[in-house]
């Protein structure tokens, strides 16, 4: 049984991710929901579960929407990538 709060939508676009150590990388997003996204990655050395990331949409001509939040926390890692949950920042504190 699927216990997700929000339904997932399959997508195919790129995001720039800034890790907590300030390193940046570009990844492909494979699904998106109101609450988060799944990022495809062959290199699962980073990020760590619980790590706060900054996510920015890579401008592509076929994308007309925006990502609802730019900060996300890593909630799980799978065989083909990692799952993020969007978070809001208020005065430097997660909410």
Distance CA 66, CA 43 (A): 26
Residue 1 placed within a domain:
no
The number of distinct structural domains making up the chain is 1
Residue 19 lies in a domain: yes
Span 27-51, pLDDT tens digits: 999 999 888 999 998 876 778 999 9
CATH code, domain with 87: 2.40.10.220
Domain span at residue 61 reads 9-94
Q: Judge whether 81 lies within some domain.
A: yes
- In-domain check, residue 3: no
Q: How confident is the model at residue 94 (pLDDT cuts 50, 70, 90)?
A: very low
68 assigned to some structural domain: yes
pLDDT at 95: 44
Say if pTM beats, i.e. exceeds, 0.75. Answer: yes
Name every residue whose Cβ is closer than 8 Å to that of residue 35 and which is 6 or more positions away in sequence. Answer: 4, 5, 6, 85, 86
Six token digits for residue 9: 């939508």
């Amino acid at each position: 049984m699927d216990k997700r709060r929000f339904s997932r939508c399959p997508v195919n676009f790129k995001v720039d991710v800034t890790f907590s150590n300030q390193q940046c990388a570009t990844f492909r997003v494979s699904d998106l929901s109101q609450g988060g996204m799944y990022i495809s990655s062959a290199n699962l050395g980073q990020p760590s579960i619980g790590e706060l990331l900054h996510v920015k949409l890579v401008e592509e001509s076929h994308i007309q929407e925006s990502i609802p939040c730019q900060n996300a926390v890593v909630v799980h890692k799978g065989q083909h990538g990692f799952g993020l949950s969007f978070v809001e920042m208020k005065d430097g504190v997660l909410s």
